[in-house]
Every structure is written in C-alpha cells, then in structure tokens.
Structure 1
Amino acid sequence: MFSNLFLKSFRILLLPFSILYWAGIAIRNWFYDRGYSKSATFGLPLICVGNLSVGGTGKSPMVEYLVRLLHEQFKTATLSRGYKRKTKGYALADAQSTALEIGDEPMQFHLKFPEVPVAVGEERIVAIPQLLHDRPDTQVIVLDDAFQHRAVKAGLNILLTDYSNLYTRDFYLPTGDLRDLKSGARRAQIIIVTKCPPDLDTKKRNAIIAELKPLPEQEVFFTTIEYGQLYQIMGQKVPPPSLDTEVLLVTGIANPKPLEKYLLQYCKSYNLQSYADHHIFTIDDLKDIRRKFDDLDAPGKIILTTEKDAVRLSKFSNEIADWPFFVIPVRHRFLFQQEAQFNARVINFIKEFTPQTSTYGKKK
C-alpha cells in the first residue's frame, strides 16, 4: 500500500516531463495529420492491433484471436517489433528461432500457429515488403502493437483500452501510461474495452461508450479475460492441481492483477514471484524461484506461469526438468453477444479490400 502511494506521488512529480512528452507526440502527430509526414499503404489488408498506453491491454491474446479467426480462410501472417529481443532488423521465424532472437510474444505466436508466418522488424514500413518477398502468397498481415507507428497506415485499426484504466482517464508518460494522444483514438475503426468484469451490465457499458465518445463510424466492443485449462509443457509430470494445491505464480507481464484475482477463485492461496514486463530470465532468477518454491510447506504444490513467460523460461528446460511447471492460457471472450458482429467486421474488411490503394514506393 505504502509503495503504491509512493509510486503515485513520485509520478506526479514527473508532470513537467509528461508535458514535454505530450508536446513531442502532439507535434509528431500534427505532421502526419497535415500530410507533411507520409503514411505508406500497401496492396493487401493490414489489420493493426494496438493501444494508446504502455502494455497490459491484451494485445497478444487479440492477435491470437485474429489469427485463429483468419488463418484457415486467408493466408495470414503476423508482424511484430520483437520487443526485448537480442537481435535487430527483420527476421522471419523458423524451426531454429528462439525468444531471444525474435521476442517472447512472436515466439508464442510461432509455437501456437507453426503454419502461420511470424515476422519481426522494428520498422514496419521496411519489414512488410521483406515479409511479402519471403511469403508472396500472404493475403493479410496482422500488425502487433503498431497503432502508434504511423509510417504505415493500416486499413483496419483495432484499439484496445483496459476497463480499469481507460485512456480517457489516463495521462501521458511518465506521470501516466499514455504514449500517444488521446485524440489518436479517432484513427481506430474498432475500439475494444478489454478485461471487463464478466458480469458487466448494460448501464455500465453505455456509460463507458458515452465516456469514450466514439465517432459515428466507430464500433465499440467489450471483452473479458477467459483463462483456459492449465497444461504442463515442461518439468516433472504431476496430477492436475486441485483447490488444495499451493501455487507459486511466476510472472513477467505488464498487468498480472487479473490473473491474481482469478487464482483466488481457483485455489485457496498462492505466492507471487513477479518480474518486469518482458523480463529476460536468468539462472539467478531460476535459483530464486526454486528457493521460494522449496519454502512452500504444502504436500501438493506447483509453479504456474503465463504462456508468454513460459516461452522465455523454455531455454532452461534442462534445469527445470524435475519441476512441476504449469502454464495457463488466456483468451478474449466478447460480452453482450458481440463476437459474431466483431468477426463479421474483420472478415468483411478483408473481403471488401481494394488493392489499388498501395502508396508504398511511390514518390510524394
């Protein structure tokens, strides 16, 4: 409690830097809005998944949702930055790829959908032509976390905002979490309020829509987090956990609170070993995790982590061969029976796309 109050007070002291940050992104967006800086378009459907803040809105599960929706009907590929990878430039995932080479989230996509091309590249405007060169049969590209990268203009922008921290109530870095202008929400065709309570009522839904003030052509959807069945991908095989199982939760994600809340319903108690978002685990971290796990005084106990964290921990498969390591998958579930409406909106965008709009490579 004290640490949270201290952090909030400290961030308020950074308000002058937030004003400078706001000025910088306002100028940058002004150049794009006025056409002085150009946004390239490409001759195929681009679907952008992003947000206005830093981390924690559910971008990765939404990319997975879209890939699951599209890849059997269209030749689908994904393109990410590859945050915190140890390499630079463009790369296409293959059988030898690791999370250190392409990033944890792209590696997660690659493992879950091995038949779908997964590429990374800091400069999307450069990476897209390289991806199309490598996979010329690609029909649609899902751009992960690219909403603020205006050098490329996607045909369908899906903007995510966390129910517990709507962008309308947030402030700019470093005082708040916003990394783009609130007015940037106007560039989205779809706004999704994520991580909603599963029992969200219509009155609260309408109040949020009124607060977001969507444009007439914008659609607003609501999703909740849905956790799947725990599965074991490494370590000593043990029976599935029960309500009496003691859990050590190991996370390196931006916002573990929804998972922590879920665990309180799933088991009688849990212990947390938390790291920063996209944390690169070391052998010393492994020793800390093992020490904390050994200290748990319970006949039945497991280590639980997220799919994204599991990708980064997999390099220690030999070291944790005898650990009871479980993974919990996460998915978006649409509320208010909106799933069919959302799916139709995405698929119709692809089917109705006209490829004559490409401006990449043209002189301005």
Structure 2
Amino acid sequence: MIAILRWILLPISLIYQFIVWLRNKMYDHNILKSQTFDTPTIVIGNLAVGGAGKSPMTEYLIRFLKDNYTIATLSRGYGRQTKGFRIVTTASTALEVGDEPLQFKKKFPDITVSVCEDRCTGIETLGIANDIILLDDAYQHRKLKAGFYILLFDFQSLFKPLLTLPTGNFRDNLSSIKRADLIVITKSPSTIRSHQKKHIEKLIRTYSDSPIFYSAIQYQAPVSCANQHQTIKDLTGLDIVLFCGIANPTPLVEYLTNLGNRIHLLDFPDHYNYSNKDFQKVIAKYHQIASDNKVIITTEKDMQRIEKKDFLNLPLYYIPIQLGINRNDDNAFEYYIEKYISTVI
C-alpha cells in the first residue's frame, strides 16, 4: 500500500526534482552565492536519504588524518534539541548535540567535534585553529563551497528507482554527482558481479569522471555498556533482542543471523529519541525469551541515546562498525585525500 501511494505521489516528485535542479543551477551560475574558506574542508555526503555510511566514512578519515593534522568535525547534529553552534564534549548528551557527533567525540576525544546547522557559521566559529575540517552530511549545503567532496552511494540504492522524494529516496538529482571529487559505493557485497559494476559505473560516468571506490561494512567485536570488549566467538548461537534506530538495519540483522543467532528485532526510526516506555518494551521482549543464552544488542549510534541505568544488570552490548575500502584500493583512496590537502596546506 505504501509503495502504491509513493507512485501516486510521482507528480510531487517531479516538482521537487525541478525545484532542486533550479536551486543547483542558481548556485552553479553564482545567482545564489557560495562561501569559500582558507581552511581545507572535506565534505562527506550522499544524495539519498540516510543510511549511506557517512559516519563510518568520517571516522575512517579521522583515523587516517589525526596523527598528522589537527582535525575538527562539523555536523548538523541531527535530532538534537538545541540550536546554533556548539562544541561537543564527552559529557554532552545526544539531545544536546546529536548521536553521531557524540559518538565521534567519545571515540576520538582529542579532536574538536562541533555541531551547527549553518556550516558556514560553524567554520567561521571554528576559525583557523584546525588544519582540516571534516563536514558530515553537507553535500546539499550549497551556501558552502568546500575544497573537496566525497559522495557516497549505498550499493543497493543504485538498483532501485532513482527518483527523488517522495516516490523515490533521493533528496538531490543525479546530476549533482558532477560535484564529487571521489565517489564511494558503500555496503558493497564481498563479491561484486561484473554486470553490477558495469551498471553502477555506466550510471556514474554519465555525470562524472571522478574515481570510484567500493567499500563494505566491517563489524567489530561487541562491547558491553560497561565498555567490556567481547570476541566475535562469544556472539554465536544466541537469542538476540536487537533494537536500533537506524536507516537500514537489514545488514546488521543479516550479519548476526549468519553467525548462527536468532534475532528478535525491534526497529525504530532513524535517530529515534527513546523513552523509558521503549526501553521497557525491549526489556520485556528479553524476559519473554525462555532461553538462558540471550543478550540485548544495539548499535554504537543508538548507545549514545541510552542511559546505562535503564539496563542495569542486563547483558546489553553494541556492535561498532568501521568502513573498509576494498582491498588494494585503500592506498589509492588515501592518495587522493593527501593530494588535495597538500595543495592547500
């Protein structure tokens, strides 16, 4: 029924597509003005709504660059209940700064993490104290003209109708691919068939000659809410109550299922602000399972919105993820990043 409704709304998608096209043309021809900055700026973005892997890519760049450069990240802080520019601290809450910026700060406490809905204002406030500013989800923020753009596509999204909202899942037109300096196909299968690769590259080459890379999710060992690390071997043959508020939980469900677990999924909207009632629902589901071999699992992003006291004495874990560029391509990917930075520093 929902799919039918989305196709009924196709005329609205066409109007939306035209408005986005017109806005981009106005920026392309300087009718609407973009602002540039002396500080090197790298934008990580996507054209579709949610779930392309922007946060893992941001963390990949942090790991790659933090030992040689002073880095700041700047995000909108999606889901926060505050406005304006804020510096994120390890004592911040997701309601104050958003879940993903808080995750960045907790994982990389030595870098500057900030949020601001206006990226130009954010960069101005950060000043020149940082060598590089990484902008998470700013591809459509045309008021800013960044120095370097990394555009992400979820692998599966390129085999579905490539339409704008509300019929499709794209918030920008495919012609915007032309602004990307690097293109990364995320969540790729371990083996990509030749016809799939031809389809993807034919589509992208219509708009851009920029390098294309393929990446995959790399799930890490589970971590308890008390920061105790387990091994993957500990995560087999279990009944798992999996609850998460992410754009697409399917890859995580498949990963845990393939390890030989039975999954009991409670799926919430992306960036969902949990209530105590939601947590009680998760705990009730856990207690309903007769087996003694059972745990509760969530994502690292969701863990930023959870108070440990809500799951006192319960086996709650999260699964960290990392982005892995396909073997033999990571050096080339990093080369392009370094090449850009060397031209501006």
Above 0.5 in TM-score?
yes
Q: Cα distance 1:235–1:46, how it changes in 2: closer, same or farther (>3 A)?
A: closer
CA contact (8 A) 2:219 2:319 kept: yes
Q: 1:4-83 to 2 correspondence within 5 Å?
A: 6-83=1-78
Superposition map of 1:334-353 within 5 A: 334-353=325-344
Tell me the CA shift for residue 169 of structure 1. 4.0
1:124-158: CA deviation from partner (whole Å, max 9, x where unpaired) = 011111112xxx42000000000000000111100
Pick aligned residue for 1:324 from 308, 315, 339: 315
Q: Per the alignment, in what secondary structure is the counterpart of residue 49 of structure 1?
A: strand
The residue number in structure 2 matching 1:290 is: 283
- Residue type at the aligned position of 1:198: S
CA shift digits 1:103-134 (9 cap, x unpaired)? 000000010000010000000011111112xx
- Cα-to-partner distance string for 1:301-326 (whole Å, 9 max, x where unaligned): 0011110001111xx22221211011
Residue in structure 2 matched with residue 85 of structure 1 by the alignment: 80
TM-score (norm 2): 0.95
Shift in alpha-carbon separation, 1:230–1:40, aligned structure 2, 3 A: same
* CA deviation after TM superposition for structure 1 residue 249, in Å: 0.7
CA shift, 1:167, in A, is: 8.4
Identity of aligned residues (%): 36
Q: How far apart in 2 are the matches of 1:216 and 1:321?
A: 52
Alignment check: 8 A CA contact 1:234 1:320 kept: no
Alpha-carbon contact 2:223-2:229 (below 8 Å) kept: no
Q: Which amino acid aligns with 1:196?
A: S
Partner of 1:152: 144
Residues 235, 320 of structure 1: 8 Å contact kept: no
Cα separation, 2, equivalents of 1:307 and 1:103? 13
How far apart are the structure 2 equivalents of 1:181 and 1:213? 15
1:220 aligns with 2:215: no
Alpha-carbon distance, 1:241 to partner: 3.3
- SS of equivalent to 2:139: coil
Please, which runs of 5 or more residues in structure 1 have no aligned partner?
Answer: 1-5, 355-364
CA shift in 2, pair 1:41/1:235, >3 Å: closer
Verify: 1:305 aligned to 2:298, yes or no: yes
1:198 Cα deviation from its structure 2 partner: 1.0
Which amino acid in structure 2 is aligned with residue 322 of structure 1?
N
Task: Tell me, in whole angstroms, the C-alpha distance in 1 between the residues paired with 2:39 and 2:131.
Answer: 6
The RMSD of aligned alpha carbons is 1.9
CA contact (8 A) 1:307 1:329 kept: yes
Shift of the 57–73 alpha-carbon distance from structure 1 to 2, 3 Å rule, reads same
Match 1:166 to one of 155, 158, 166:
158
Q: Greater relative contact order (Cα 8 A, min sep 6): structure 1 or 2?
A: 1
Number of aligned residue pairs: 344
Deviation at residue 199 of structure 1 after TM alignment: 1.7
C-alpha contact (below 8 Å) 1:48/1:145 kept by paired residues: yes
> Which residue number in structure 2 is paired with residue 204 of structure 1?
196
Q: Does 1:245 align with 2:238?
A: yes
Q: Deviations over 1:64-101 (max 9, x none)?
A: 10111111111011000000101001001124311110
The DSSP-based 3-state class of the residue aligned with 2:39 is: coil
Change (3 A) 1:216 1:293: closer
Distance 1:283 1:149, change over 3 A: same
User: CA separation in 1, counterparts of 2:205 and 2:27?
Assistant: 23
CA distance in 2, matches of 1:237, 1:166: 36
Please report how far the alpha carbon of residue 170 of structure 1 lies from its aligned counterpart in structure 2 after TM superposition: 1.6
Question: Is the contact made by 2:240 and 2:261 (CA closer than 8 Å) also made in structure 1?
Answer: no
Q: Quickly say closer, same or farther: Cα 1:349–1:317, change in 2 above 3 A.
A: same
User: Does the CA contact (< 8 Å) of 2:237 and 2:259 recur in 1?
Assistant: no
Distance in 2 (CA, whole Å) between partners of 1:115 and 1:346 is: 21
